[in-house]
Amino acid sequence: MASPPRRPVSPKDAAEALFKPAPKPVAAAVERRALPETREIVSIKIDSAVLEYFQKDGPGWQDRINDALRAVVKADGAE
């Protein structure tokens, strides 16, 4: 089986090869900041003892962790 020629052999193919449309540049992705007071899904590593502490009272442990972190932020004066 013969491999196809690297260059176009017919004048029409050669002309079409010269006038192929150029690829359009891809626009850069715009990073948008989260709205205030919205929650974002994150993955963090927490010591098992800390996780057990917040989970011992049952459902709502993620809210309790969030409240504890919010208290730290508020105490630091960042909010």
What's the pTM value of the predicted model, to 2 decimals? 0.53
pLDDT digits (tens, 9 = 90+) for 14-64: 788 777 777 888 888 788 777 777 888 889 999 999 999 999 999 999 999
Backbone dihedral region for residue 21 (phi beyond 0: left; psi -120 to 50: alpha; all else: beta): beta
How far apart CA 10 and CA 25 sit, in angstroms, is 31
Contact present, 55 and 48 (Cβ < 8 Å): no
Beta-strand ranges (E) seen in 14-69 are none
**How many whole angstroms separate alpha carbon 67 and alpha carbon 73?**
10
